[in-house]
Amino acid sequence: MDVSASDLSLAESAVTALLQELEAYPKPGLVSLRDSGSHADMDHLLMRRSAEALFGSFADIAAAGRAGQPFATSLIPLGVAAEREMLRATGGVNTHRGAIFTLGMLVAAKARAAASPTRPDSIRSTLLETWGDALRAHASLDDSRNSHGALVRRDMGAGGARTEAARGFPGIFETGLPAYLSAQAAGLDANAARIQVLFTLMAAAEDTNVLFRGGMDAATFVRRSAEEFLASGGCSSNGWFGRAEALHREFIRRNISPGGCADLLAGTLLIAEWTSVVQSAHF
């Protein structure tokens, strides 16, 4: 399938969103420019190399999405190919499997929606109209893989990224994006706005990465910590950075990493970038 200039642009924006998520700090338990968080097998350079290796795969996914190719016979194989590129770049470390699925579906939907106004609701409706049935079927399938998400789905009945996608990514469109736009309206700088979104997602989203590492106790701790941070004023309050950094150290001590929320943050940043372009075009 031919890859167009617009497909390449969408791929570049997806990689940029992954790098923007990586650069944000302090993110409790997550890899950043400062440290490796709760991940002994990852660091900033590995994550950057992984993100940049996904450019060609995201371009291929955009081309398939633009053509409305089927989920099962086109998008899934392209996602599997993207995972191979990730593992080749990282020496076998799973850095971005969840992000490949989340951002890949967003890129496909954005490419497909290109002929219409690309507002967030247009991207979301295009996703559900084109691949909604397939995504719902995918979410209900038994999964024999030993990925973290698959193990948690089997053992705890948690939905994770598959359920998010089948519902049109409410974590991004209903939680992350409104939080990001509110943070921008409040005058927060780019880093603070990203951290504000992350804590908002941690307070609201079911994260299979957290459940895999620590079960329901860890999930409760993550949610309660995020709710308390937000109740204290979040990133608009004095001393927010120190409080978030203290939580980062505590997450490391407990070996907790909200990687699913990190993927939703990257997806939020991606949609926000496209939204900003659309908004600017109206003036």
Summarize pLDDT for 90-127 with one digit per residue, the tens.
999 999 999 999 999 999 999 999 755 578 999 999 99
Contact 103, 270 (CB under 8 A): yes
Residue 232, φ and ψ in degrees, nearest 5: -80, 5
Percent of the chain with pLDDT over 70: 89
Note the pLDDT tens digit of each residue in 120-147: 999 999 999 999 999 999 998 865 555 5
In the prediction, which pLDDT does 145 show? Answer: 54
State the pLDDT at residue 213.
77
Of residues 151 and 64, more confidently modeled: 64
Please determine, for residue 46, whether its predicted confidence score (pLDDT) is greater than 60. Answer: yes
pLDDT in tens, 186-216: 999 999 999 999 999 999 988 988 988 778 9
**Whole-prediction pTM:** 0.92
Q: What is the mean pLDDT of the chain?
A: 91
Q: What is the mean pLDDT of residues 224-245?
A: 98
pLDDT tops 70 at residue 231: yes
Domain chopping of the chain, boundaries: 5-281
Q: Where are the alpha helices (DSSP H) in the chain?
A: 5-23, 44-53, 55-66, 76-90, 97-112, 120-140, 148-156, 160-166, 170, 177-185, 190-204, 208-231, 240-254, 259-281
Residue 35, pLDDT score: 97
